[in-house]
Amino acid sequence: MFHWLSALIICGLFALGLWMVELTYYDDWYRTAPDIHRSLGVLLLIATVLRLVWRRMNVVPAVLPTHKTWEIKSAHIAHTVMYILLFAVFISGYLISTADGRGVQVFGWFEIPATLHGIQHQEDIAGEVHFVLAVSLITLAVIHAAGALKHHFIDRDNTLKRMLNP
């Protein structure tokens, strides 16, 4: 469930992020879209931490015997890099959002305080980094999904089925 929820939210945040940066001050969603984006990003951060804790406490399914060594290694590397990118996206998003010294409101439920702010051009630099990291994350996620589809349609193994039916 963590996997599919994360995938859905990451894709949604990416699409929302691309859309909202094109909004002008006079658009109805100018303030609302970034608030939703930030709030969902914080909730995704919490879910990701919980996912990593859950994964640490549970047994990882055994590798299928049909998987080649290079597939196993590249999947492990891809998962690790996706987590690194995800946390880097969270940090850069936080730096964008707190550049003016205000904390990050999460749907009005709670606030993440601004701890790092006041760096010259912080919002612009973090914004560029955030965009590059997000594009990198989505690109790697597409490759990851293509690998799952390859296992399902070409190799005809149970990799994808095991992810859909725990």
- Report the pLDDT value the prediction gives residue 162, as an integer from 0 to 100: 82
- Report the pLDDT value the prediction gives residue 64, as an integer from 0 to 100: 86
Location of structure tokens 């399914």: 61
Question: What are the domain boundaries of the chain?
Answer: 2-164
Full pLDDT tens readout for the chain, 166 residues: 888 999 999 999 999 999 999 999 999 999 999 999 999 999 999 999 999 999 899 988 888 888 899 999 999 999 999 999 999 999 999 999 999 999 999 999 999 999 989 899 999 999 999 999 999 999 999 999 999 899 889 988 888 888 777 5
- Report the pLDDT value the prediction gives residue 98, as an integer from 0 to 100: 97
CA dihedral 96, 97, 100, 105 (to 10 degrees): -170
What is d(CA 164, CA 1) in angstroms, rounded to the nearest whole number? 9
What is d(CA 110, CA 90) in angstroms, rounded to the nearest whole number? 17
**CATH classification code of 2-164:** 1.20.950
Token readout for 161 is 């089925």
What is d(CA 69, CA 87) in angstroms, rounded to the nearest whole number? 28
Q: Nearest 5°: phi and psi at 111?
A: -130, 140
Q: Are 79 and 141 in contact (CB under 8 A)?
A: no
| Continuous H helices in 21-165 | 32-57, 69-97, 122-153, 159-164
Token readout for 45 is 């951060």
3-state secondary structure of 110: strand
